Amino acid sequence: MSDSEKFDCLVVGAGPAGISAALALARAGIQVAVLERGEYPGAKNVMGGILFTTVLNKLLPEFWKQAPVERHVTQRRFSMLSRDGEVALDFRTGAYNEPPYNHTWTVLRSKFDRWFAEQAEAAGVMIVPGMMVSELLVENGKVVGVKTEPGGDELRSDVVISAEGVNSFLAEQVGLRRPHDPRHMAVAVKEVIALPASVIEDRFRISGDEGSAWEVFGQAVQGTFGSGFVYTNKDSISIGVGSTIHDMTRHRLNPNEVLEQFKRHPAIRPLVRGGETLEYAAHMIPEGGFTHLPRMVMDGLILTGDAAGLVNASHYHEGSNLAMASGLYAAETVVEAKRRGDFSAATLSQYANKLEHSFVLQDLRKFQRVSAYFNENPHTLRDYPDVMVRLLSDYFTVSEKPKAEIEKEVIRKFRSEIGVLNLVKDVFKIGRAMR
Amino acid sequence: MSEPVAPADDKLKETIEDKLYLVKYKPDKQSHIEVIQEVFKADKLKVVLYICPAKVYTLNEETGECLVNHENCLECGTCAIAAPEYVKWRYPRGGFGVQYKLG
Amino acid sequence: MKVLVFAEQREGEFRKAALEACGAGRRLAEGGELVGVVIGRGASAAAPKLAAYGPDRILTVEHPQLELYSTEGYTTALEAAIKQEQPDAVLIAGTATGRDLGPRLGARLGVPVLADVINLSWNEGKLAAVRPIYAGKLHLSVRSQAQPGVATTRPKAFPAGAPDPGRQAQISPLEVELAPDAIRARVTQMHSEAEGTIELTEADIVVSGGRGLKSHENFKLLEELARTLGAAVGASRAAVDSGWRTHGDQVGQTGKVVSPTLYIACGISGAIQHLAGMTSSKVIVAINKDPEAPIFKIADYGIVGDVFEVVPALTEAIKAMK
Amino acid sequence: MNILVCVKHVPDTEAAVKIAADGKSIQTQDVNFVLNPYDEYAVEEALRLREARGGEVTLLSAGPEEAKKSLRTGLAMGADKAVHLVCAHRHDTLTLARALAAAAGQIPFDLILCGKQAVDDDEAQLGVMLAEALSLPSVSAIVKLEVLDGKAVARREVESGLEVVETSLPAVFTAQKGLNDPRYPSLKGIMMAKQKKIEEIACAQSDSQVEILDLAYPKSRSGGKIVGQGAAAVPELVRLLHEEAKVL
């Protein structure tokens, strides 16, 4: 390759957004290279473990026949922990046992991403691992390439797709985003704990390749604005916690200690007992949502995935699917730009339109108030679980007291501890935030 | 011939140290983290000492300075958002740093 | 069974590892014959000392071309001894010299060499051995299909056995022919380390320091403890990478693998690659400020405390004991 | 000066190796393979010699298809050519050395560099056996190499010191840690390496002269006792080492 050689498109980062973009571009005959700072694709990539696959299945139909996915999720469980109790909503259905398996899978990202990158490589994408893009090359306000470390080499292209992930240094360099806000950035830690498949199936009441996904609020994260999770892999479980950095620092919490408290909670401990920790990981999640999105494009640059803040931080916890969708839209946009021979912000802004008209931004818009609501009403997550468990505990306590009297007492307590008005207000507010 | 049996061990890890021991790294000799010690010393909250999930930051009690074990870094970036006044955190150079096997 | 052992000596002194190889050879011979081969300057003068360690016969090779060790010269000499003796097995101590000589000899004879073994036996009449691989993470049992079976033995893996001064061995010289140009790679100089320093892989006691030592100067504390104990000083990769010790002192997967009777780890947290280099030590002592340090998981005895406080106290206590 | 460097594709040193179902090999799934660290020193030394004296650096590796990945790493560092001796079959090291010697016969070289040992089987034998198979002199575990006209002076590590060894060329050298600080591949290097063609040579199958009987985990150490805190615990430690462990 000569020094003057130039790629049509450079993609920064071999995660779901970057690989989706590169795969789609290569299929459209665009010359594309992916620069990945990990020694191999997946080396730096972490998520809780649920991958929604509506986009993946479009890119690679029936991917589950080859991809290293763990289990398809047939059981979803949402619960609130008090200090020693739990109130849960548990849902399961056999309907999710048929292809496409409700597009919901547990995965281990380092394994999955490596495989996903191999599919792109097979389609003609050049993947360069072990190279960190330290900065974008900008000439006359236009992005014209990247500079890499180690070595300081420069590489040029018509357009760069940044899929560099949550820290999004490149977007900051060119002024597409403001400094990150600790209220809108969550830190999450997780452990992968090995357990025999049969033990997992017994503990979660699943069989075969079925999987279970638990989202746990309240004391799971010491009442902070965040949640804990437990997901079943084939022969391990992924367990973790995440909360906004603002809340964690406000309560002087250490993420690992929060995770340990979660693991020790009587409702969780039986799930992990006897397991063997295989790996510990930490990662951030951009939770600013719709109201805190960066500018998505400029001349010669498109932001995708976490770097563009595309995470639905509601109870759906959907990030990678949005990342893949954004990668796909970025690729379509670049194909069009290449056809026109114009990589200006005006042409690339098609990308923003595509996002607007898809589930990506429509979902983010729908949940835009959730983050603000919980930031403004921390008591909802801190106090309600305790009160609920206490009331239910009173209600179910067996004694010779007439049941009618117990009911009355519970209702009286309920009134005094939460207040009908407050609860109604909160439910209303949460409902509005989700609308 | 006996069946291979994996060595027995205390298996469910609790402390950060034990957990980091399971994580694979390719440490770079040059650090990707810089702490502005004067600002750190003046800061009462010292959030990096506890918010970091990998115990990268510890306090040198004699000098009051912040010791940085950049080799432990899990590269989440939390420190730079929690304490931007004194933590200058970038990615390690390509190929170096944490290497998740499972992720 | 007939076993031939190359007994490495320098200036008339046998290497400890060579005596261990003799011990291993004695047991492997199972009442058969053990033949020692001593090569180089001072070989015939040193040979009687070897008798106490088990050989029935000792061959000595001296030649103007064999004054100092050379791969090619020693290979030719040892090959001549093997041709004459036709042993079932050949053992070479796995020192720097042995690990250089072994593969050359094997290639010369056209037989494979079982390298760096920690256990030797006969399996259906063939030489079998256990050898650590992946820096000791696994133990591989192998059998050589060739005759003779050749192995290099890991230092300190086999007991040398107490010398028996009453033992006699028949000592005879062996003539070898070496053309003046037969040796193309020659040692022209030796740079020895300071007098009295003990080689890490041969030491009975090793005192090692890690990141907790904090500086090059602080290794003086360990050197003093080592002097008191007659120990060698080692270091973790962190200490070597920080430039506090040279890489020759590094104990671990990419450094030296040691198995002393006593290993004292000071300010070493116990990264897996360090553990790979020392877990075969008989007794491990760990001194570390951090009670959670992984080193305590494998140490027989641990002290949680500041190395700068504990190490000098240990030095004093041992001085007092002596 | 043309230099031949023999390299091997090995599991990363930090990999947790687990025994495969056959009981005689390791599980390779989920294990990251890399260019053998000692071979990196060999490649680096070859590149430095080429930079000083011109010529070409050719890499040679024997192994299965995946071995090409390490050849690409070496090419990305800056080697000029790579030759892959394709063999999925397990060989003993002597057989392998002879196969590599036959392949080396087809490549012009003035000097051969190898890593001191591969970090998987830890034999530290291939380079020296290769030298004997090629009837060349060898110097193993070198920490310094100076090439002069028609000869070379190397320093090798031995117990308690360094030997200075002078040898005629061509010769085989095996690289020990400390020889140099290997460079990291540059972006341009990586991209060029991806486009280079790797020459393939078929490897004849032959039976291994070393039979694998068993593969096992070593006995694991269990943690012992914490004797105490600080200097106050020293007398008890000394007593235990003396009376219980009997090592003092």
**Which of C280, C283, C293, C260 minimizes the C-alpha distance to D224?**
C283
Tell me what the pLDDT averaged over chain D comes to.
93
Which chains have 3+ CB pairs within 8 A of B? A, C, D
Which pLDDT belongs to residue A421? 62
Asked whether the beta carbons of residue D187 and residue A33 sit closer than 8 angstroms, the reply is: no
Per-residue pLDDT of chain C (322 residues), as tens digits, is: 999 999 999 888 999 999 999 999 999 999 899 999 999 999 999 999 999 999 999 999 999 999 999 999 999 999 999 999 999 999 999 999 999 999 999 999 999 999 999 999 999 999 999 999 998 889 999 999 999 999 999 998 999 878 998 889 999 999 999 988 899 999 998 887 665 667 888 889 999 999 889 888 899 999 999 999 999 999 998 888 778 898 889 998 778 889 899 999 999 988 877 888 898 898 999 999 988 888 998 999 999 999 999 999 999 999 998 7
Structure-block tokens of residue B41: 């010393």
Q: Does the residue B13 lie in any domain?
A: no
pLDDT value, residue A317: 85
A392 close to A413: Cβ distance less than 8 angstroms = no
Best of A19, A35, A44 to mutate (most B CBs within 10 Å, chain B) = A44
Q: Kindly report the nearest CA distance between residue B29 and chain A, in angstroms.
A: 13
Residue B2 domain-assigned?
no
C42 inside domain: yes
- Name the closest residue on chain A to residue B102, using Cα atoms: A110
- How many Å apart are CA D26 and CA D28, to the nearest integer? 6
Distance CA C87, CA C193 (A): 37
Do residues A19 and A330 lie in contact, with contact meaning Cβ atoms separated by under 8 Å?
no
Testing the interface with B: which of A34, A36, A37 to mutate, by most B Cβ within 10 A? A37
- Tokens of residue C193, six digits: 């380390």
The strand pairing partners of D144, in sequence order, are D155
- Residues spanned by the domain of C314: 200-321
β-strand partners of A35:
A12, A128
Closest CA to C284 of C312, C260, C309: C260
What are the pLDDT digits (tens) for A277-286? Answer: 999 999 999 9
Q: Is A323 helix (H, G, I), strand (E, B) or coil?
A: helix
Determine whether A10 is exposed, middle or buried from the number of CB atoms within 10 Å of its CB (0-12, 13-18, 19+).
buried
Q: Which residues of C touch D127 (CB under 8 A)?
A: 103
In this structure, are C317 and C259 located in the same domain?
Answer: yes
On whether both C228 and C169 belong to a single domain, the answer is no
Look at residue C215 and tell me if it is in a domain: yes
CB-CB neighbors (< 8 A) of B71 in chain D: none
- Chain B CB contacts of C272 below 8 Å: 21
D186 → closest Cβ in A1, A3, A153: A153
Strands A154-162 and C170-173: unpaired
Ranges of H-type helices in C210-255:
219-229, 237-241
Q: Could you tell me if C62 and C153 lie in one domain?
A: yes
In a domain, C190, yes or no: no
Question: Which residue from D minimizes the CA distance to A146?
Answer: D187
User: Mean pLDDT across chain A, nearest whole number?
Assistant: 92
* D 180-219 residues inside an 8 A Cβ radius of C: 208-218
Contact A256 B20 (CB under 8 A): no
Is the residue at C178 inside a domain?
A: no
Q: What is the pLDDT of residues A137-196, one digit of tens each?
A: 999 999 999 999 888 999 999 999 999 999 999 999 999 999 999 999 999 999 999 999
The residue ranges of DSSP E strands in chain C, in sequence order, are: 3-6, 9-10, 13-14, 34-39, 57-61, 89-93, 113-117, 119-123, 126-133, 138-144, 149-153, 170-173, 185-192, 205-209, 232-235, 262-266, 283-288, 301-304
Interval B74-85 mean pLDDT: 97
Beta-carbon separation of B12 and A193 below 8 A: yes
**Residue D179 distance to chain B (closest CA, Å):** 18
Task: Select from D30, D184, D191 the Cβ nearest to the Cβ of A1.
Answer: D191
Q: Are residues C40 and C137 in the same domain?
A: yes
Of D30, D184, D191, which is closest to A128 when you measure between CB atoms?
A: D191
Considering only CB atoms, which residues of chain D are within 8 Å of chain B?
A: 12, 14-15, 18-19, 23, 30, 32, 184, 213-218, 220
**Closest-CA distance of chain D to residue A198, Å:** 20
What's the mean pLDDT in D126-135? 98
* Strand, helix or coil for residue D57: strand
* pLDDT at residue number C292: 81
Q: Is B36 near chain A, with CB under 8 Å?
A: no
| Optimal mutation site among B1, B5, B17, B58, interface C, most CBs of chain C within 10 A | B17
d(CA C311, nearest CA chain B) in Å: 20
Residues of each domain in chain D carrying CATH 3.40.50.620? 2-202
- Higher-confidence residue of D29 and D238: namely D238
The alpha-carbon gap from B96 to the nearest alpha carbon of chain A, in Å, equals: 7
Do chains A and C have 3 or more beta-carbon pairs under 8 angstroms?
no
ipTM for the whole predicted complex goes beyond 0.85: no
- Residue A108, chain D, CB below 8 Å: the answer is no
> Is pLDDT above 90 for B67?
no
The whole-chain average pLDDT of chain B stands at: 86
* Of D150, D155, D122, D118, nearest in space to D140 by CA: D155
CATH class of D2-202: alpha beta
Number of domains in chain C: 2
Counted domains in chain B: 1
For residue B79, the tally of other CB atoms under 10 A from its CB is 26
Domain hosting residue B70, numbered range: 25-93
Q: How confident is the model at residue A399 (pLDDT cuts 50, 70, 90)?
A: confident
Mean pLDDT score, B74-82 = 97
Supply the pLDDT for residue B18. 80
CATH number at residue B78: 3.30.70.20
More confident residue, A371 or A268: A268
| Stretch (H or E) spanning A321 | helix A320-340
For the sheet with C283-288, list strands across it. Answer: C232-235, C205-209, C262-266, C283-288, C301-304, D225-229
The DSSP-derived string for A354-386 is HHHTSHHHHHHHHTHHHHHHHHH-THHHHHHHH
C194, two tokens = 């300071």
Spell out where A140-180 has E strands: 142-149, 154-162
pLDDT > 60? residue B6? no
CATH of the domain at C258: 3.40.50.1220
**Encoding tokens for residue D67?**
């071995």
Chain C environment of D92 (Cβ under 8 Å): 112
Query: A320-340 and A359-366 are packed helices; what angle lies between their axes, rounded to 10 degrees?
Result: 130
CA–CA gap between residue D120 and residue D63 (Å, rounded): 13
Does any domain span residue B7?
no
Chains contacting chain A through 3 or more C-beta pairs under 8 A: B, D
Question: Is D235 an interface residue toward C (CB < 8 Å)?
Answer: yes
Please judge whether C104 and D128 are an interchain contact, meaning their C-beta atoms are less than 8 angstroms apart.
Answer: yes
Given this model, what pLDDT does residue B8 score?
A: 35
Say whether pTM exceeds 0.80: yes
B-D Cβ pairs (cutoff 8 Å, strict): 28
